[in-house]
Structure 1
Amino acid sequence: MKPPFARPVSSSGGAAEEPRRPRVFEPAQAVALPESIEPITDIEVPLDDAVRPPRLLGWVGRVAWIAGGILVSLALGLAAERLIAELFAAQPWLGWVGLGVLAVLVIALLVIIVREVASLLRLRALDQLRHAAIAALASDRNKDGAAITRELLEIYARRPDLARPRDELESNARHVFDGAEHVRLGERLLMAPLDMRARALTAASARRVALVTAVSPRALIDIAFVIFESVRLGGDIARLYGARPGFIGTWRLIGAILAHLAVTGGLVLTDGVVEQLVGQGLAAKLSARLGEGVVNGLMTVRVGIAAMRVVRPLPFEVVKQPMVKDFIPELANVLNAEKK
């Protein structure tokens, strides 16, 4: 067997530089470094503060909105009463037709109101369950953890796609005696498959945003599509976790997502991030439209991650929380296809 030998890799014919001699330090000059250094750009935000819905109105604003709503309702009722009276005065059958249409309208409005209230209650139930799970992880009481498991089984009782995870959770929860382990078991069995689908929804939305941004001729189209895709992504993720928000619930969800993004900080994109996305040195060769597609796609990813943290009924304890860098290969595939 031949002994190993070093072969120069440099093709330059210049004289080799003299190796630097090792320096000698005095013992008094040595400085003890800490075992771990906290990065200043990755600030951990407590989950309790990051996902709390924003309080946009105080009691004065709420009173003003209630008073305004009552006045508008009275005005609409008076206008409807005058319309029905005029229809009866013109032709009796027109009055009865108008009265029937008004009854249908009132019933439809009542159904919409009930659905909106139910959607708000579902969002509040998921939020309360997440805070209860955080408390169960801290207390580690079996009673608290068992209550979390029962609520999870009740929330997803009508989901056929989670039938097997529900059965496994119900059978394994009988042998668990720690409250924190109840929460971890529910996260492994129920949240893990939902998290995978939420990642897929986020990746698909980011790809669409990046592609549309790269090919659209106007910046206004980019902004409109990013807003539309972000709202749709938040609603899809909320429905995936069992929230099913209505119109008012969607706006409340958007407010919570924006509050989460404001608390956790914005996404800072530099040329280094784009180089990491498409390869070292290649970012300078990309067109401006592809660069904007990268930025908008990554911002859509942040919206999806924020939506997961807001509507997920359990905190990220066992399952790894998705990061923006996890979706970089998806955007790289879109950019490579666009360049070809």
Structure 2
Amino acid sequence: MASNHPRAFRLPPTEPKAAAHAEAPRSPRAVTIAPDTSLDLLLAGEASSAASAPAASVLAAAPPRRRLFGFGRLLASALGGLALIALATAIERYVASLLEENAWLGGLALALAALAGLALLGLIGRETLAILRQRRITALRQRAALLSDGRDVAGMAALVADLASIYASRPDTARARALLAGLHGDVLDPQDRLAVAERELIAPLDGQARQLVAAAAQRVSIVTALAPRAVFDVLFVAGQSLWIIRRVSEIYGSRPGLIGFFGLTRRVLSHLAITGGMAVGDGLVQQVLGHGIASRLSAKLGEGVLNGLLTARVGLATIEACRPLPFRAVTGPKLMDVAGALLRKSAPLPDEKGQADPH
């Protein structure tokens, strides 16, 4: 048998595989290394997706740019100036002729003309202040929409201070304004500061506006159900709608003048057109009432409910247009909030057993 003792063997030398296929050395040359941008693109995509919601809200809140110059405005300004010049010239000639004929009557006419001029200047000043006040509230709402998703502490503090200054002359907001002034060093988060301002200062005004709109909707419903002619319905609904626009704007501190009131009415109508608030017909009543209640109502009562609902829609659009802050910490009023009592009155009465009459 062969011995199993360990023995030594000499192996032939082997060259590395890479050395067998070694290539001739090459001369050095410049190499351009392109940076890998995949990580940057990934981070940019995550950042854009995280900021998509605030950016969308900012773009939605930004108002469309209005042209400072327009042929319509130029025509209206020119015609208004010509009318004022013609009126002033006619008054001057009339006063001059009276002074030549009778000094006393001419002096009286001159004094009345001076009073009329002062009154005109006062009206122009009041309209200008009302327009500036409306623009200030609109700008405040836009600033709140821009700052609501950011971390600008100083900007939010200035916004809350400007908001409180709008209601500085109203005693019913004294407690809320004092609370906001005391939070200057306590609440540092911008969103919390804005939420406190909305809950303490604006939410009570929302309650007043909601009660006003609900009362107007009930009045319109009752008058429509009792009015003998359709023309009375139209006039009363139009009058109540204009009254709602003025009163709600006053609640939120706007107090528009004649020109400002026309502009505010146009904004409310535009909001109604966008949100579909002017949709009429029995389909709206059927959608809101449900369960076939509209078919159980009489014709006049159904018209009253419909007009009341449309009046409530005008009120809701006015609240949206006049509110100095967008609805964030507080839920905005819905149609059932202002027309709930109206719809409950239109529901079928239960029978003696406490169950609704199926017929």
Q: TM-score range by the shorter chain?
A: 0.7 to 0.9
The offset of 1:121, in angstroms, is: 0.5
Within 5 Å, which residues of 2 pair with 1:81-96?
81-96=92-107
Q: Which letter maps to 2:235? A: A
Give me the whole-angstrom Cα distance separating, in 1, the residues matched to 2:67 and 2:342: 35
User: Which one of the candidate residues 269, 275, 289 is aligned to 2:300?
Assistant: 289
Indicate the larger mover: 136-145 or 240-249.
136-145
2:156 counterpart letter in structure 1:
G
Partner of 2:22: none
State the partner residue of 1:110: 121
Distance 1:108 1:100, change over 3 A: same
Q: Which runs of 5+ in 2 are unaligned?
A: 1-55, 349-359
Shift, 1:280, TM fit: 3.5
Alignment of 1:140-179 (within 5 A): 140-179=151-190
Question: Which segment is superposed worse, 47-56 or 284-293?
Answer: 47-56
Kindly report which structure 2 residues correspond to 1:134-213, keeping only aligned pairs within 5 A, or say none.
Answer: 134-213=145-224
The amino acid across from 1:78 in the alignment is T
Contact 1:203–1:301 at 8 Å: present in 2 too? yes
- Answer yes or no: is the 8 Å Cα contact 1:141–1:180 preserved in 2: no
Per the alignment, in what secondary structure is the counterpart of residue 232 of structure 1?
helix
The aligned runs of 1:284-323 (5 Å cut-off) are 284-323=295-334
Q: CA deviation at 1:319?
A: 0.6
SS at match of 2:140: helix
Alpha carbons 2:237, 2:307 under 8 Å: kept? yes
Q: Residues 153 and 166 of structure 1 are in contact (CA less than 8 Å); yes or no, is this contact kept in structure 2?
A: yes
Please name the residue that 2:74 is paired with. Answer: 63
Does the CA-based 8 Å contact 1:211-1:293 persist in structure 2?
yes
> For this pair of structures, how many residues does the alignment match?
294
Structure 2 CA distance for aligned equivalents of residues 253 and 268 of structure 1: 21
278-287 or 296-305: bigger deviation = 278-287
Instruction: Point out which structure has higher relative CO (alpha carbons under 8 A, 6+ apart).
Output: 1
How does the TM-score come out when normalised to structure 2? 0.76
Query: 1:221 pairs with 227, 232, 235, which one?
Result: 232
Contact 2:244 2:315 in 1 (8 A): yes
Letter paired with 2:251: L
Which residue is 1:13 aligned to? none
Residue 253 (structure 2) pairs with residue 242 (structure 1)? yes
Separation (CA, whole Å) in 2 of partners of 1:57 and 1:296: 38
Look up the SS of the partner of 1:190 in the other structure: helix
For the residue of structure 2 that corresponds to 1:62, the secondary structure is helix
> C-alpha displacement at 1:336, in angstroms?
6.7
1:124 and 2:135 matched:
yes
TM-score w.r.t. structure 1 length?
Answer: 0.80
Larger radius of gyration: 2
